[in-house]
Structure 1
Amino acid sequence: MDFMTAVKTCFAKFADFSGRATRSEYWWFVLAYFVLALVGSFIHQYVYFLVVLVFLVPMISAGVRRLHDIGKTGWLLLIGIIPLVGLVLIYFMVQPSQAEANQYGAPPVA
């Protein structure tokens, strides 16, 4: 999945917490968020706040769908609240997708 497709997909499924998201879809979306947040922070604090607000729900839903893709529950996203323990989420997010269907659906089409 390329950059633009990933961003469009994540915004199209902004409140869809079911299903699965590929590794490339998730990481391209995270990259888009970081780039826009960085640019927004240089422009003005209100622009930065607006970028964070716009990306909040889509980022959470993409994270939940990414965890579903590796066969984990989306509730594991909450361990990101715990300092240092939340680093385990990075390990989960870089894991390859399950090739077969799991309890969260069929593998997404890349």
Structure 2
Amino acid sequence: MPPPPGPDFSQVPPPPGQAPFASTQHGSYTFGEAIATSLKKYADFKGRARRSEYWFFWLFTLLVTFPPQLVVNYSIFTIDTGNGMPAATYPLALGFLSIVGLGLFIPSLAVAVRRLHDTGTSGAYLFFGLIPLVGTILILIKLASDGTNGPNAYGSRD
């Protein structure tokens, strides 16, 4: 059924000097764009990453690793084949987690460094993570902070 006649406000440009409300308003990425960008910049520790790029990549990592982690935990703590060994799913899930963990470690670190650069902070700030609890909170605050407007010491936003 065709839409009712009338004006199509989805095609109306924004007023002069005002950014459109779509994803370009703050330069944020969609989920797919964020994953693609983070993986393209696999080991790129230079430049800047928007909040959406960092947090969508974090969510992607969680979604990829959470199901096999459940299998590993379930295999270790509840399934016993009768000879004191965990079920056959344990080594498969653990192997998958190891491969994925190794594959995502560098891009996760790179996108975190680029995210800190966007806030005007050095990537060395990640070493605060070695301080239990307090360091993690400090890093999370920085990662969740808005980036600097315009160019900073680490370049301009893409």
- How far off is 1:100 after superposition? 1.4
Whose helix proportion is higher, 1 or 2? Answer: 1
Equivalent positions of 1:10-49 (< 5 A) are: 10-43=38-71, 44-49=93-98
Once the 2 structures are TM-superposed, how far is the Cα of residue 89 of structure 1 from its aligned partner?
Answer: 0.6
Percent identity, aligned pairs only, is 35
Q: Which runs of 4+ in 1 moved over 4 A?
A: none
Aligned length: 108
Structure 1 equivalent of residue 156 of structure 2: 106
Whichever residue aligns with residue 101 of structure 1, its letter is P
Paired letter, 1:69: D
Counterpart in the other structure of 1:2: 30
Any residues of structure 2 matched to 1:57-76 within 5 Å, and which? 57-76=106-125
**1:51 to partner: Cα distance:** 1.4
Q: Which runs of 5+ in 2 are unaligned?
A: 1-28, 72-92
Tell me the residue number matched to 1:80.
Answer: 129
For the 8 Å contact 1:98–1:107, the answer to whether it is kept is no
Larger RCO: Structure 1 or Structure 2 (Cα < 8 Å, ≥ 6 residues apart)?
Answer: 1
Q: Aligned AA for 1:45? A: L
Q: State the SS of the aligned residue for 2:33.
A: helix
Task: Tell me if the contact between 1:40 and 1:51 (Cα under 8 Å) persists in the aligned partners.
Answer: no
Secondary structure at 2:115 match in 1? helix
Q: Once the 2 structures are TM-superposed, how far is the Cα of residue 42 of structure 1 from its aligned partner?
A: 3.5
* Aligned-CA RMSD value: 1.0
How far the C-alpha of 1:85 sits from its partner, in A, is 2.0
Question: CA offset at residue 40 of structure 1?
Answer: 2.5
Which protein is bigger by CA-based radius of gyration?
A: 2
1:27 Cα deviation from its structure 2 partner? 0.1
Q: What does residue 89 of structure 1 align with?
A: 139
- Aligned-pair distance for 1:50? 1.4
Letter of the 1:73 counterpart: S
> Does the CA contact (< 8 Å) of 1:41 and 1:47 recur in 2?
no
TM-score in terms of structure 2 length: 0.66
Say whether 1:55 aligns with 2:83: no
After TM superposition, the score normalised by the length of structure 1 is 0.93
CA–CA separation in structure 1 for the residues paired with 2:102 and 2:69 = 13
Residue 80 of structure 1 and its aligned partner are, at CA, apart by: 1.0
State the Cα distance separating 1:107 from its structure 2 match: 2.0
